[in-house]
């Protein structure tokens, strides 16, 4: 029921109530007037009245009506507006993702499983490498180090040609003091015969690495090994033997005769 209809109903009910009140008041006033007229005269008044024959019936007394009962009708009380109840919105449950199952190809022989061993066994008659082993030196790593046999002379003072390549795993420039080839005899590095290839100029290894061909000489006959090394402890300090040389390659044996 809207406000306009409710207002009309209330006005109508109020008008009926006022009309009933007016009717009730009129009825009460009339009953009071009739009651006053029907009061019996006093003794003095009766003496003054003319004698009336007893055989003549007197006028009948008016019937006194009971007072009107006014019944107040209840007003139309507007029904309470229903309080809207929030209905929880159902949440969508995600459907399970279909996971594709790989179908193995047919007619392909299954690979033969080879049991893994905890310690690799070196092949028979293969010498176990000895001496210093390659390492990652501040991101600088050796990638190759070989002799150029076609123009190498393995004689005292002869030119021993080689080429090497190093990589840079740091992602940026790496400063170093010297990089070159170190000769080794009887398990001892011979720093005095070390061949510097790059260093002494605040050198920095670029992110892409570096490759270089060069040569060196050994003045005395004997059996040696050659390996690629790098030092970070200052150029002159490294050349004088005060620095630490990090090995970047396997050793290459040479015999000077």
Domain ranges of the chain: 3-45, 140-256
The CATH class, in words, for 140-256 is: mainly beta
Closest to 248 (Cα-Cα) out of 215, 216, 222, 209: 209
Integer Cα distance of 76 and 10 in angstroms: 6
CB atoms within 10 A of CB 219: 10
Could you read off the pLDDT tens digit of each residue along the chain, which spans 257 residues?
567 777 787 888 888 888 888 888 888 787 776 655 554 444 443 344 444 444 444 445 555 555 655 555 555 545 545 454 454 554 554 544 544 444 444 444 444 443 434 444 444 454 545 789 999 999 999 999 999 999 999 999 999 999 999 999 999 999 999 999 999 999 999 999 999 999 999 999 999 999 999 999 999 999 999 999 999 999 999 999 999 999 999 999 999 99
User: Is 0.75 surpassed by the pTM of this model?
Assistant: no
């Amino acid at each position: 029921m809207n406000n306009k209809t409710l207002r009309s109903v209330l006005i109508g009910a109020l008008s009926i109530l006022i009309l009933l009140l007016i009717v009730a008041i009129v009825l009460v006033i009339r009953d009071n007037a009739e009651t006053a007229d029907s009061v019996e005269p006093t003794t003095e008044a009766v003496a003054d009245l003319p004698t009336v024959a007893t055989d003549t019936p007197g006028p009948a007394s008016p019937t006194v009506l009971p007072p009107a009962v006014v019944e107040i009708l209840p007003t139309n009380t507007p029904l309470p507006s229903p309080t809207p109840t929030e209905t929880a919105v159902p949440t969508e449950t995600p459907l399970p993702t279909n996971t594709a199952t790989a179908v193995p190809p047919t007619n392909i022989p299954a690979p033969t499983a080879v049991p893994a061993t905890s310690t690799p066994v070196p092949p028979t008659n293969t010498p176990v490498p000895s001496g210093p082993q390659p390492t990652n030196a501040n991101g600088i790593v050796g990638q190759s180090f070989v002799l150029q046999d076609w123009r190498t002379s393995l004689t005292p003072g002869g030119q021993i040609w080689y080429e090497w390549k190093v990589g840079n795993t740091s992602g940026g420039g790496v400063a170093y003091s010297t990089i070159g080839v170190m000769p080794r005899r009887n398990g001892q590095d011979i720093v005095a015969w070390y061949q510097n290839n790059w260093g002494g100029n605040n050198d920095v290894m670029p992110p892409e690495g570096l490759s270089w061909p060069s040569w060196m000489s050994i003045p005395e006959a004997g059996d040696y090994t050659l390996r690629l090394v790098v030092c970070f402890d200052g150029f002159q300090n490294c050349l004088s033997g005060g620095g630490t040389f990090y090995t970047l390659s396997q050793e290459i044996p040479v015999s000077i005769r």
